[in-house]
Chains A and B, each alone.
Chain A
Amino acid sequence: MTQAEPMRERADELSRAIQAALAGRDEGFRTLYRVVQPSLLRYLKALVGPDAEDVASETWLQVVRDLRSFKGDGDAFRRWAVTIGRHRAMDHLRRNQRRPSIAMPVEALTELTGGDDTAAAAIEILTTDSALAMIASLPQDQAEAVLLRVVVGLDAASAAQVLGKRSGAVRTAAYRGLKRLAERLNGRENGHLG
């Protein structure tokens, strides 16, 4: 079974949830929140680090406020919410005079292998946080492209819309990001085995 199918089911679920939320029903909005928030938060964490929770709650406040003007299906909602989140994150960074810091503590990378030498153990021990930290340590355009595609679940065109770039550029950035991740994983593995 691939992940593509659950993705599609989730898109349908989101579309139904939007209708319910627009009709003012709690359960509709709760579904929107539960489906979108975790990936939104993971994406924001790569942009604003520990402030991601705050930026996410600002994002939801704005989503709630502007929900009535929203039109579209589940995928459109995901794209819309994440775009708002990205704007809020950029505002946040501007307020704090910071660059999108992808402060990736090196310790998190060493956690990846958890002391065991075999690659299998490395895979098992890979936690969500360390995986996200590793993605976040990529150059920003690559990190964002990978997160939007893999974690948020957007296609290349949607990710490009969120980022305000051409989809070709996003495609390239995502590909480079994956390649770099693969190199790091292999590099570490070789280090352990060699």
Chain B
Amino acid sequence: MERDLSKEAAERLLSGALTPPPDGAEQLAALLAAASAPARPHELAGEAAAMAAFRAHAPTVSRWSLRRAVTIKVAAVVAATVAAGGVALASSTGLLPNPFQGPGVTGSPSGSASPADGSHTPATTPTPGTHTPPAEALPGLCHAYQAKPPAERGKALQEKPFEDLVRAAGGPEHVDAFCDRVLATPAPDKSKDGGPNKTPATVPPTGNPPVTPKVSPSRANVR
């Protein structure tokens, strides 16, 4: 068997062309093939945690705007109802001669605007998702944090990935207590979104419910 590996053969192996193996490099090719074999299940054990983090952090397009759309729609309905109610009330108290004349024409006493204007009213309604640490990310961050040996935690909090957690907790010294609280409350996520009042159709169906992420089943698997 040839002992020296040619540069060409090496380059072939390095770019992933393992079959057929270059002459004399069968064992080496087998070793590289084994090293790059398809994923084994335990290697994907962190998927739930990663997905939870993604859903929390990448709401720019999907969830955030969806929620905002829902908020605006609900707000518009509320405003319209209020406006209509105002008209009804005004007419029942005799202040309005004709309830169907249109609110713009009559100087309605409630001053309530038309439903079209009404959509501005709820500008004060808190829009979810605008402030920094999205609540859904926190359990994942807490799990990642708690998976660390206690001695490393202080330093870990200075790392970029945990910035949000520190901010949400109100400082590194509060993180322990904060995470205890966060992890004590089971999955706040779904109940909030799928509330019975909102149109359930707008909640994107997710194949994977954000179960409490297992960040470190790792240590068991790793030799």
Residues of B bordering A, CB below 8 Å: 1, 3-5, 7, 10-11, 13-19, 25-28, 30-32, 34-40, 43-47, 49-51, 53-63, 140-141, 144, 147-148, 152, 155-156, 159-161, 164, 204, 206-208, 215-219, 221-223
Contact = CB atoms under 8 A, between A and B. Distances in A.
Contacts of B46: 37, 53, 56-57, 60
B35 to A, nearest CB: 4
Contact of B13 (A68, A135, A178): A178
21 contacts: A2-B19, A4-B17, A26-B204, A29-B51, A38-B43, A50-B218, A53-B215, A57-B46, A57-B215, A60-B49, A95-B156, A126-B31, A128-B35, A134-B31, A147-B35, A149-B14, A151-B36, A181-B28, A182-B3, A183-B3, A186-B3
A53 B3 contact: no
A2 B16 contact: yes
A169 B215 CA distance: 36
Contact of A50 (B3, B53, B54, B222): B222
Contacts of A76: none
A19 to B, nearest CB: 11
Given A33-B44, A53-B215, A64-B56, 13 more contacts: A50-B219, A53-B46, A60-B53, A61-B141, A64-B57, A122-B27, A130-B34, A147-B35, A150-B13, A178-B5, A181-B28, A182-B25, A183-B3
- Chain A binding site: helix, strand, loop or mixed by DSSP? helix
B61 A53 contact: no
A132 interface: yes
B39 A38 contact: yes
B161 A26 contact: no
A188 to B, nearest CB: 9
- Residue from A22, A122, A182 having most chain B Cβ neighbours under 10 A: A182
Nearest to A96: B152
A129 interface: yes
A108 B204 CA distance: 46
